Structure 1
């Protein structure tokens, strides 16, 4: 990690960055549960999973019974149809079975389950694929192709820098300046956010694994992989007029309308690293000319509210992998399981104790 300069950039240079950095704050919410060691500790500084969740929760009103991030979402069901083309990269059964059952969740960034959908540009999807031999593949993907930081400690600093000051309702410029000085790779994500399309639907959004994994083929060869979901629906940007007029829940409403006309589909594309590509650093994207294989088509056929849907009580831990796929040494990927578990346990306890009903008047929540 680069050492910070002796003094942070002047605040006058920082002001033009605040709006995009608010987006990075939203990204922090988008990836908020992407860190934790299996033992509950993160990295050499012994950052614990509860400490990181506490940082995420700090400064936000409590929403008992909901996920600690991506709190607002919709359950979906469908299937994955393998093309067979991915077999040279991984022997996982999911890449050879013709019809694989899928339970998923489409979500919105942040900690507020009642936030208006037009206020954040980022989207996420989580999937559980179950093959006919009983194996599961769980993957959590974001609409950002890389992260702003490469370590759990860096993420905690990002969350803290992005937390609004109660006096202004905005992040503290000095704290954000210090974060940017210590983590220059965040600038790359900021630049991406300025030019990337702000989609008007979950259905026409591309999603990225961000982290790398290791595929093992039947011949024993090993292949560093990332994957992306590429929508069949044409990308349509959310313009300013739509943003102002959109209903608070327009993403779920739009998706239901699309499903009424037929399944919503994406190509699942595996991307193989070339020698020298960063395998264990999710803050760097791989070049566009890397080998790409269309592993199959994800087809979603129905959606239900998250309070009653099949996804409600699923922990979409991306380290639950089938034979033929394994985790890389990415510290952020290795960190995910414990915080996912901690978050799941917190909300389930809240529901069991009736705190969710007391806070919201609803019986149960995802």
Structure 2
């Protein structure tokens, strides 16, 4: 069947599957933070659906289970200092422990089968404070609220009768949520890259930078790669671990770099809606360069014990009123507690 012969409903299914099903694991986590009404989902049902989605993999993250640790530093040029009093934005160098990953709960998933990718970073300031951030290689979320995201996850689950999502339910959801058109427009033209090194990773959620006078500035940020984009190839699709092999080969030769680009909102820009992209004419500031120098397998690697909670913030950075932030924070904590407990049990069993 050609793309042109697909029905409208089938086209919507194809576009949504670019990213929503892997991201849907996040939505399921939201119940554990109390962000979804308990009558909608019990804890038993949650665990069952999570295991059906990604499988039972004790000791691994419940989402973005497959990944690698990376180590490097952030070299600040001081340009963001007028916006934020955070120590890492003063001119100088801050050590960073990070992680590249693909979405979903299966640590054995083929890299080419999961288009949603992430970069998580922990900046360790000299004063002991940390900035932790989790970013995705997509420009926006498909919907605006936790409730809408949960609804979308439920209708993208396979219909028991067909083994596939019901296209009519998806079509109806999109019709009732016109903001979805922005996501669909992006998904329609999206082609994954051949490397984490060339992906642009975006905060999606907004935050507040606080300057030395106490003034607040609504911002988002992106890690913009120095490495040029190349689309995923047929050769890449023959290796289920091609992203990991690629990053290992690249870092064995040279460091990899991204610029931290801060986008500053104007009055009226929404800080509570990750489904809205701010206009291109907003002020941007290059705050410095992330330089990654080495990669380590995640098992027993330096990123294994880090919970990349987006609300672990230093003085000078604060949360916005985006409801997804508190939900993400709660979800990450519960995932961290579960996997570290399982890892401890596994270690005890080997003694």
Q: TM-score, normalised by structure 2?
A: 0.90
CA contact (8 A) 1:129 1:138 kept: yes
| Equivalent residue for 2:155, pick from 136, 154, 161 | 161
- Is 1:280 the counterpart of 2:272? The answer is yes
Distance 1:324 1:33, change over 3 A: farther
CA contact (8 A) 1:52 1:156 kept: no
| Equivalent residue for 2:106, pick from 88, 106, 112 | 112
CA contact (8 A) 1:55 1:156 kept: no
Q: CA deviation at 1:110?
A: 1.2
CA contact (8 A) 1:266 1:299 kept: yes
| Distance in 1 of aligned mates of 2:130 and 2:31 | 21
- Is 1:350 the counterpart of 2:342? The answer is yes
Distance 1:140 1:32, change over 3 A: farther
| Distance in 2 of aligned mates of 1:318 and 1:273 | 19
| Equivalent residue for 2:15, pick from 16, 20, 28 | 20
Report the equivalent of 1:4: none
Question: Where do 1:233-252 residues align within 5 Å?
Answer: 233-239=227-233, 241-245=234-238, 247-252=239-244
Report the equivalent of 2:56: 62
Q: CA deviation at 1:275?
A: 1.4
SS of corresponding position for 1:23: coil
| Distance in 1 of aligned mates of 2:69 and 2:256 | 14
Report the equivalent of 1:42: 35
Q: CA deviation at 1:59?
A: 2.9
Q: CA deviation at 1:189?
A: 0.9
- The one of the two structures with greater contact order (alpha-carbon pairs below 8 A, sep at least 6) is 1
Distance 1:277 1:314, change over 3 A: same
CA RMSD, 1 decimal: 2.6
Deviations 1:175-208 (A, max 9, x none): 3234323433223112101223421100000000
- Is 1:326 the counterpart of 2:318? The answer is yes
Question: Where do 1:162-311 residues align within 5 Å?
Answer: 162-239=156-233, 241-245=234-238, 247-311=239-303
| Distance in 1 of aligned mates of 2:169 and 2:177 | 12
| Distance in 2 of aligned mates of 1:46 and 1:327 | 29
Which region of structure 1 is more displaced relative to structure 2, 91-100 or 263-272? 91-100
CA contact (8 A) 1:101 1:131 kept: yes
| Distance in 2 of aligned mates of 1:48 and 1:215 | 36
Distance 1:263 1:199, change over 3 A: same
SS of corresponding position for 1:304: strand
* Structure with the largest fraction of helix: 2
Moved over 6 A (4+): 43-49
Distance 1:106 1:171, change over 3 A: same
CA contact (8 A) 2:155 2:166 kept: yes
Name stretches of at least 5 consecutive residues in structure 2 with no aligned partner. Answer: 1-5
CA contact (8 A) 1:30 1:70 kept: no
- Is 1:135 the counterpart of 2:126? The answer is no
| Distance in 2 of aligned mates of 1:30 and 1:279 | 24
Q: TM-score, normalised by structure 1?
A: 0.86
- Is 1:89 the counterpart of 2:83? The answer is yes
SS of corresponding position for 2:249: helix
Q: CA deviation at 1:18?
A: 1.6
Name stretches of at least 5 consecutive residues in structure 1 with no aligned partner. Answer: 1-10
SS of corresponding position for 2:235: helix
| Distance in 2 of aligned mates of 1:59 and 1:336 | 21
| Distance in 1 of aligned mates of 2:133 and 2:321 | 17
SS of corresponding position for 2:163: coil
| Distance in 2 of aligned mates of 1:294 and 1:52 | 45
CA contact (8 A) 1:116 1:248 kept: yes
| Distance in 1 of aligned mates of 2:132 and 2:142 | 23
CA contact (8 A) 1:24 1:190 kept: no
